[in-house]
Amino acid sequence: MVRIVAVALVVMAVGTSSALASAGAKYRGTGSDAGSRAKISGSATVPSQNGTIATVRTQGISDGLFQFGHIKQGNNFTTNCGGPGTIGYMAERQKVGGNYLCNVYFGSFGSSHVFSVKQNASFTGWSAYLDGAFYEGPWGLGYQAGQAFAVGEYDGFPPTSYSMQFGSGTPWQYTVNGTSWITINSATNYNDGGWIITSLPSPFTISR
C-alpha cells in the first residue's frame, strides 16, 4: 500500500499495481508510540480497478510500518495483499529497509471491530489483534516505536463511495509500553486530496 511520510507530507506508492495511491489519515507523536488501536466500521463501494483499506498503523520515523484493518479490492485489481475481489481484514508490515508483506484474513469489510497493532512488553516484536484476540506476530521490523496512525487509503481509481468511522466505543488510542492505552485527543491530519477527515475526539470519520 502506501507509506505516509508525515514530516514531508508526501505519499509514495510502494508494492502496489498503480501509482495512483491516495491516503487520508490522522497521526500523532514524534516517534515514541508502541501501538495504535481503534474500533473501525463503515462502508465502501469500489470500482473494478480499486483497492481500499481502513487501518490503524504504527510507522517508524524513517522507515518501517505495521498496519491492521479492513481491505476491499475490485474484481480486476491486485495488490501485495491479494488478488481480484479480496475482501476481509489485512495485516501489512514493512521491515526497515525491506519489502512490504501482507496477510489477509476472512472477514466482512466494514463490520465493527477493534483493530490493534502493538509492541510486546519486551519490545521485541509487533503483533496484530482483533477485538483483543491475537492474530499474528510478533514481527521484528527494525523499529521499536513510531507514530500512531488511523488511515483511510485507496490505490487505483477512487472508490465510488467511502465512509469509515474510527473510535466508536473503543476510541483511537496509543500506547508507549505495549500494555496501557491512552486516548488520543490531539493529532495532525494528513490529506492527499479529496478526503474529509472530521475532528477529534473519537469517534471521527474519514470519508470521500
CA distance 59 to 11: 13
User: Could you tell me the three cell numbers for 140?
Assistant: 521484528
DSSP state of 198: P
pLDDT of residue 9: 26
Tens digit of each residue's pLDDT (9 = 90 or more) over 41-63? 999 999 999 999 999 999 999 89
Tens digit of each residue's pLDDT (9 = 90 or more) over 122-134? 898 999 999 999 9
Q: How many residues does the chain have?
A: 208
CA distance 40 to 152: 11
pLDDT higher than threshold 60 for residue 23: yes
DSSP state of 177: S
pLDDT of residue 20: 53
CA distance 54 to 208: 13
CA distance 88 to 105: 6
pLDDT of residue 10: 26
Tens digit of each residue's pLDDT (9 = 90 or more) over 100-115? 999 999 999 999 999 9
Q: How confident is the model at residue 21 (pLDDT cuts 50, 70, 90)?
A: confident
Tens digit of each residue's pLDDT (9 = 90 or more) over 174-192? 999 999 999 999 999 999 9
Under 8 Å between Cβ of 145 and 132: no
193 backbone φψ class: left, alpha, beta (φ>0; ψ -120 to 50): left
**Whole-number percent of the chain with pLDDT over 70:** 90
Domains of the chain, with CATH numbers? 2-207 (2.60.120)
Number of neighbours of residue 110 by Cβ within 10 angstroms? 18
Q: How confident is the model at residue 6 (pLDDT cuts 50, 70, 90)?
A: very low
